[in-house]
């Protein structure tokens, strides 16, 4: 049959431990982009949500809380999450964070300039955050989000966030 193969350590007996520790320090970085939308009270269509050109102060505070860093896109050297970092085509700023080995770029729809397509849709605001598996829907108090209003097929998880007094109410929904 097959000859018996035996492996024996060569050199430093602690090599496996050293390799393991080195490997843990140098784990491959994971990259992720998260789409972020702003939904005002009464907005119940994708196009209405995409029409928002500014975010509320509450949304800005939330992004500062979860990302911690508003970054200038032009010349940005880290993970860009499909955003343009050469010509300001996708806005001047976005939010970026690194948590352990995860580097995250937030594609914030209201911060992305957008042309209007043939059907009146906001092309870039739909395409960039719409190509994220996870999306955050930041809502004005009382807004109601239903995942089926979003036409994309890439988004799998929607996290809705609404300010309530001083705290945030966070909920998760997913496509069927």
Q: pTM for the full model?
A: 0.77
Q: Compute the Cα dihedral for 131, 135, 141, 146 and give only its sign.
A: positive
The two three-digit tokens of residue 55, written as one number: 């975010």
pLDDT tens readout for residues 59-107: 999 999 999 889 999 999 999 999 999 999 999 999 999 988 889 999 9
CATH 3.40.50.11210 matches 32-174: yes
Tell me the C-alpha distance between 83 and 112, whole Å: 9
Domain limits of the chain?
32-174
pLDDT tens readout for residues 114-147: 888 777 778 888 888 888 888 999 999 999 998 8
């Amino acid at each position: 049959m097959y000859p018996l193969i035996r492996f024996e350590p060569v050199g430093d007996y602690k090599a496996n431990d050293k390799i393991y520790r080195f490997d843990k320090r140098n784990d491959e970085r994971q990259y992720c982009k998260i789409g972020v939308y702003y939904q005002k009270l009464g907005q119940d269509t994708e196009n209405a949500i995409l029409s928002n050109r500014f975010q509320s102060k509450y949304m800005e505070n939330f992004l500062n809380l979860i990302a911690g860093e508003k970054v200038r896109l032009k010349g940005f050297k880290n993970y860009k999450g499909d955003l343009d970092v050469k010509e300001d085509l996708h806005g001047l700023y976005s939010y970026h964070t690194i948590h352990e080995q995860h580097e995250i770029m937030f594609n914030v729809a209201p911060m992305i300039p957008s042309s209007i397509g043939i059907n009146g849709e906001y092309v870039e605001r739909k395409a960039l955050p719409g190509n994220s598996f996870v999306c955050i829907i930041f809502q004005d108090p009382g807004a109601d989000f239903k995942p089926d209003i979003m036409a994309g097929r890439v988004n799998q998880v929607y996290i809705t966030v609404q300010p309530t007094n001083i705290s945030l109410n966070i909920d998760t929904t997913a496509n069927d």
